[in-house]
Amino acid sequence: MQKKVIFAVSFFFIFSLGFAQSSATPSLQKQGTATQLIVNNRPFLILGGELGNSSASSVEDIEQIFPKLQRMGLNTVLVPAYWDLIEPVEGTFDFTLIDKTIHQARKNNLKVVFLWFGAWKNSMSCYAPLWFKKDYEKYPRAYTKAGKPLEIASSFSENVLQADNRAFSQLMKHIASIDKTERTVIMIQIENEIGMLENARDYSREANALFKADVSSVLIDCLVNNKETLHPWMLEKWGNHGFRTTGNWQEIFGDDIYTDEIFMAWSYSQYVEKLAKSARAIHNIPLFVNAAMNSRGRKPGEYPSAGPLAHLIDVWRCGAPNIDFLSPDLYDKGFTGWVAQYKLHNNPLFIPEARLGQGSGAQAFYVFGEHDAIGYCPFSIESGSDNPETPLVQAYAKLKELMPLLAKYQGKDMSKGLLFDQENKECILSFDDLTITTRHYFSLPWDPRATDGSVWPETGGLILRLDKDEYIIAGSGIVVEFKKNGEQKILEVKELGEDGFANAGGNTQKQTAWSGSTRAGIGTVDEIKINEDGSFSRIRRLSGDQTHQGRHVRIGVDEFSILHVKLYEYR
Ligand code: DGJ
């Protein structure tokens, strides 16, 4: 049996000490540039998954699904709270599904984030109860420019707001009444992917009247007060019209569909603010909204326009100050670009939905390493595999070990995320006086899948600097080399085989070589397990072939692991 060595780790820590006096209510707390979610008095990273839309609509399904989620290694599940099933008869509320969810979550050691599928779900109002839908005179719809009513409740209607807010408030009261002690419910998403479709704004009579009226002084004052830190898109849009502070929407922002979108975002955000205020007064836990991306070159009205999108963050922040953050739902290509748009000085990154796939585990590592994310959640998580060999299951097991360590270093610029595929093979990083070259594992030609035409899997991980000469490297399918900054000198040298010898007659390739300065050497590489108290247990020492005889640190594509690396210097 493998002998495990317990290291006396110099930075052993009890990270809960700093929070011992704070309340057990889930909350958000700043640490450096990061915003941390605090659960049970400790920083908590959501290793999550969101259920498919209809998967929490029967007690049997909830019973069946939750044990699997625990086997998959989730610590949190995002679950719809369906307005139509909660209030099937106007004024009569049924919380059977909510109770079942909370009960099953507790049984399976999961936290819950409820998603309020209220007036809007992916723009539409399909989760509004039938009594609401049928009474379209009392609960009016949004209209297109051509006058067509949509199955989208109007955000300008006080009756819509009252009905939605009343049901949502009942939900919050119910959660408060059953979850004051255990705190199973850690956050609430208000509505789901709000946004106008077909046109960039609602053309109902009420909307048209407000569109012609002056822009609210609340919005203008807020923009003026935050002018130094506005999103570049908003700064330009407003600046193009001379930063006017009085006038109607078109006078201040110009006459185009993006102005229509700003107008609409102001309406949606103010509406959401009323629900957020209700929630805060009843049961004060973190609140967020999610957005469908404005991807693939689409214009407002083609995507759910006016949703909580990055370019509209200032409107949403001004209109809904009680919302803690705006979150992206990520299904399109360009994952790294999208997440970067949502990690802002005034917005921590939380991903409530991402496409579930082979690369999900790598993406999770990336967002925690690169952006100090609050959490990561593939969508339709119950359709994934609970086989322990599955990338996401492996990734979550390792991230769970890493959680206290990551939490300790969040917001201090000590970690980087890695995410590779066939197009993005390499990333060069820098810490102290080191140049750290990181690559996709298949940049090593030794695995036949690297060159036999196989599609390279999405791989990734994170690098955490513990000290000048001490790193954690974790994830899957990565190769890392360390050089002192002064070492860079390019030579043509023979390509090396896996054994480190030049291949007979092999190709030449470019490599760095000594330039006369001090060099960085790999001292030791240990595959480790991180214990709950923060100490490390060595699983095995990696050297020889596993480090290319000391040339690099690597983790294969079929595994996730955590490596503890010590460097040294020589000349
Ligand atoms: C994003 C939505 O927020 C989800 O509820 C779901 O509809 C997915 N899109 C589609 O798969």
What contacts 527, CB < 8 A, 6 or more positions away?
538, 539, 540, 541, 542, 561, 562, 563, 564
Contact 154 CB / ligand 1 (< 6 Å)? no
* Ligand 1 atom 6 nearest Cα: 53
Contact 192 CB / ligand 1 (< 6 Å)? yes
Q: Which atom of ligand 1 is nearest to the CA of 80?
A: 5
Contact 193 CB / ligand 1 (< 6 Å)? yes
Contact 53 CB / ligand 1 (< 6 Å)? yes
DSSP H/E element including 542? none
Which pLDDT value is given to residue 4? 38
Which pLDDT value is given to residue 20? 35
Contact 157 CB / ligand 1 (< 6 Å)? no
Contact 122 CB / ligand 1 (< 6 Å)? yes
Contact 353 CB / ligand 1 (< 6 Å)? yes
Report the alpha-carbon distance of residue 367 to residue 170 in Å, rounded: 35
- For residues 213-248, one letter each, b for 16 or more C-beta atoms within 10 angstroms of the residue's C-beta and e for the rest, the string is eebeeebbebbeeeeeebbeebbebbeeeeeeeeee
Contact 87 CB / ligand 1 (< 6 Å)? no
Ligand 1 pocket: which of 115, 379, 380, 383 to mutate (most atoms within 8 A of CB): 379
Amino acid at 126: C
Which of 3.40.50.720, 3.30.565.10, 2.60.220.20, 3.20.20.140 would CATH assign to domain 416-570?
2.60.220.20
- Please give the C-alpha separations between residue 418 and each of 306, 313, 460, in angstroms, as whole numbers: 32, 27, 5
Which pLDDT value is given to residue 507? 65
Contact 314 CB / ligand 1 (< 6 Å)? no
Helix (H, G, I), strand (E, B) or coil at 145: coil
Joined tokens for residue 75: 């610590």
Joined tokens for residue 248: 């109607």
Joined tokens for residue 135: 């009474």
Q: Which atom of ligand 1 is nearest to the CA of 290?
A: 3
Report the alpha-carbon distance of residue 439 to residue 419 in Å, rounded: 9
Q: Which atom of ligand 1 is nearest to the CA of 292?
A: 1
Which pLDDT value is given to residue 509? 60
Distance 473 CA to ligand 1 centre (A): 33
Contact 202 CB / ligand 1 (< 6 Å)? no
Which pLDDT value is given to residue 491? 52
Distance 105 CA to ligand 1 centre (A): 22
Distance 122 CA to ligand 1 centre (A): 7
Ordered by start, the domain boundaries in the chain are 12-211+258-408, 416-570
The burial class, CB within 10 Å (0-12 / 13-18 / 19+), for 170 is: middle
Report the alpha-carbon distance of residue 541 to residue 558 in Å, rounded: 19
Contact 329 CB / ligand 1 (< 6 Å)? yes
What contacts 39, CB < 8 A, 6 or more positions away?
26, 111, 183, 186
Which pLDDT value is given to residue 24? 85
Locus of tokens 């909660």: 86
Amino acid at 112: V
Joined tokens for residue 97: 């599904």
Q: With CA atoms as reference, report the closest residue to 274 among 185, 184, 156.
A: 156
Q: Which atom of ligand 1 is nearest to the CA of 352?
A: 3
- For residues 173-194, one letter each, b for 16 or more C-beta atoms within 10 angstroms of the residue's C-beta and e for the rest, the string is ebbeebbeeeebbbbbbbbbbb
- Please give the C-alpha separations between residue 234 and each of 231, 292, 300, 312, 315, in angstroms, as whole numbers: 5, 19, 15, 7, 9
Q: Which atom of ligand 1 is nearest to the CA of 53?
A: 5
Contact 382 CB / ligand 1 (< 6 Å)? no
Contact 189 CB / ligand 1 (< 6 Å)? no
Distance 380 CA to ligand 1 centre (A): 9
Amino acid at 155: S
DSSP 477-527: SEEEEEEEGGG--EEEEEPB-TTSSBPTTPPEEEEE---SS-EEEEEEEEE
Ligand 1 pocket: which of 123, 125, 193 to mutate (most atoms within 8 A of CB): 193
* Ligand 1 atom 11 nearest Cα: 379
Distance 35 CA to ligand 1 centre (A): 26
Distance 51 CA to ligand 1 centre (A): 10
Distance 345 CA to ligand 1 centre (A): 27
CATH topology of domain 12-211+258-408: TIM Barrel (3.20.20)
Distance 294 CA to ligand 1 centre (A): 14
Q: Under the phi-then-psi rule, with left for phi > 0, alpha for psi from -120 to 50, and beta for the rest, what region is 556?
A: beta
Distance 351 CA to ligand 1 centre (A): 13
Q: With CA atoms as reference, report the closest residue to 367 among 293, 462, 285, 300.
A: 462
Contact 123 CB / ligand 1 (< 6 Å)? no
pLDDT truncated to tens, each residue of the chain (571 aa)?
333 333 333 333 333 333 333 358 999 999 999 999 999 999 999 999 999 999 999 999 999 999 999 999 999 999 999 999 999 999 999 999 999 999 999 999 999 999 999 999 999 999 999 999 999 999 999 999 999 999 999 999 999 999 999 999 999 999 999 999 999 999 999 999 999 999 999 999 999 999 999 999 999 999 999 999 999 999 999 999 999 999 999 999 999 999 999 999 999 999 999 999 999 999 999 999 999 999 999 999 999 999 999 999 999 999 999 999 999 999 999 999 999 999 999 999 999 999 999 999 999 999 999 999 999 999 999 999 999 999 999 999 999 999 999 999 999 999 999 999 999 999 999 999 999 999 999 999 889 999 999 999 999 999 999 999 999 999 999 999 999 998 765 555 566 677 767 666 666 666 555 567 899 999 999 999 999 888 999 999 999 999 999 999 999 999 999 999 999 999 8
Q: Hey, which residues does 37 pair with through a beta bridge? A: 28
Q: Which atom of ligand 1 is nearest to the CA of 193?
A: 3
Ligand 1 pocket: which of 115, 192, 351 to mutate (most atoms within 8 A of CB): 192
